[in-house]
Chain A
Amino acid sequence: DAGVTQSPTHLIKTRGQQVTLRCSPKSGHDTVSWYQQALGQGPQFIFQYYEEEERQRGNFPDRFSGHQFPNYSSELNVNALLLGDSALYLCASSFDRFGEQYFGPGTRLTVT
């Protein structure tokens, strides 16, 4: 049984560009949450998707958007990249909106 998978593993982008990160949840999970983890800090909640809709959102600007597909996989899009967007982006899935979260390995985004 595959756990949470994320792609790509690493990504380098230039300031002002746009990026899309992908996440496949653990089998049987229908809820996906995204987090940003800057170096030396804990993960910060970006948003949560359930039934293909954004259900909860953290304190992130509208440049951060997402999508959930009928197969429960999800994308995180970030527009107009800033240097400060450089971080590890984590995806977590759960059985429902309130369940234990299982984390993927993350995508390391570097903005130059």
Chain B
Amino acid sequence: AQSVSQHNHHVILSEAASLELGCNYSYGGTVNLFWYVQYPGQHLQLLLKYFSGDPLVKGIKGFEAEFIKSKFSFNLRKPSVQWSDTAEYFCAVFYNFNKFYFGSGTKLNVKP
């Protein structure tokens, strides 16, 4: 069965630190990849997505992610985090235009 793994469950950073959140998925054919964010008290919203083309994708609020097909990874990065980035981040994979699988999420706490 397909699965999505986020190995960091809780990350604590100081403002201006760099961020990298890991996401690995199991093999399952064609994949479309997403990162969603949930700010405290708000809905899940899309940060960025990869369908095809340039494996380095840029999203909102300075986030980017790199698709490395050989490693089945889609890690999220941001060079310098802000206190307002405190949120829960979910990686999601759409397999074969069929079903969505979400990771278990990473809670990011940015200290001012």
Contact = CB atoms under 8 A, between A and B. Distances in A.
The secondary structure that dominates the B interface is: strand
A90 B104 contact: no
B105 A41 contact: yes
A110 B66 CA distance: 39
Interface residues on A, range: 20 to 34
Contacts of B43: 3-4, 103-106
A45 B90 CA distance: 14
Given A41-B104, A90-B44, A100-B49, 11 more contacts: A4-B43, A42-B4, A42-B6, A43-B100, A45-B102, A56-B99, A98-B94, A101-B46, A103-B43, A105-B43, A106-B43
Interface of B: 4, 6, 32, 34, 36, 43-46, 49, 90, 92, 94, 97-105
